[in-house]
Structures are given as C-alpha cells and as structure tokens.
Homo-oligomer: A and B are copies of this chain.
Amino acid sequence: MRRDIFQAIADPTRRAIITLIAIQAMTPNAIADNFNMTRQAVSKHLRILTECELIKQEHQGREIYYSLEIEKMKEIDKWLNQFREIWEINFNQLDIVLSTIKKNKK
C-alpha cells in the first residue's frame, strides 16, 4: 500500500470527491449520489483519501461528514515549488526576447 498524496489524486473519481467536499462537508451517501458507481466503491475512495489524510471525518449520530483537509493539499503545491523557478526563468527569457523584438522594431 503506497498511499501517498500523489497516488490519491491520480484517480479522477477521487479528484472529483475532493472538489465536491471542498465546498462543504458531505456524507458518504450524498457523495455517492454524484457518481455512477456503488456507494461501497465511493466508500473505498473515501478510505484511501482518509488514509493519506487528505480528508477528515466528523461523526454526527449515524452519519459521517467528510471534509477536505486543506493543509494536506498544500503538499502538492510544495512539490511544484521546485519547478516554479524554471517557470520564472522561462518567463524572464521570454521577457528578454520581447524587449529585443521591441528594440529591433525601432
């Protein structure tokens, strides 16, 4: 069982669940209504998301409300940080190219 955050968001159903409960906490039944699969299949996805702490539960009687653990989402952002520098470089290079074009126009 690898069960890291990148593996968690690899599945399109799980990404949809994340987006769904980002707005507001929902019960498994309510979540499952949005998908074309059994409640149990959705439940398995919720289990995986819970295991890697991307979502959290709140028990209320016999119902369980699932909501997004937004802090964990930032880990993906953190991983992307190492590439932002490259984006910036590319942007700056584009900037140089653009100003060169400008100069030549004059």
Contact = CB atoms under 8 A, between A and B. Distances in A.
Interface string A69-99: 0100110110110110011001000000000
Dominant SS at the A interface? helix
Nearest to A84: B77
Interface string A1-40: 0101011011010010001001000000000000000000
A49 interface: no
How many identical chains are in the complex?
Answer: 2
A70 B82 contact: no
12 contacts: A4-B12, A6-B9, A7-B10, A9-B10, A22-B83, A68-B83, A70-B86, A70-B87, A70-B90, A76-B76, A77-B80, A80-B80
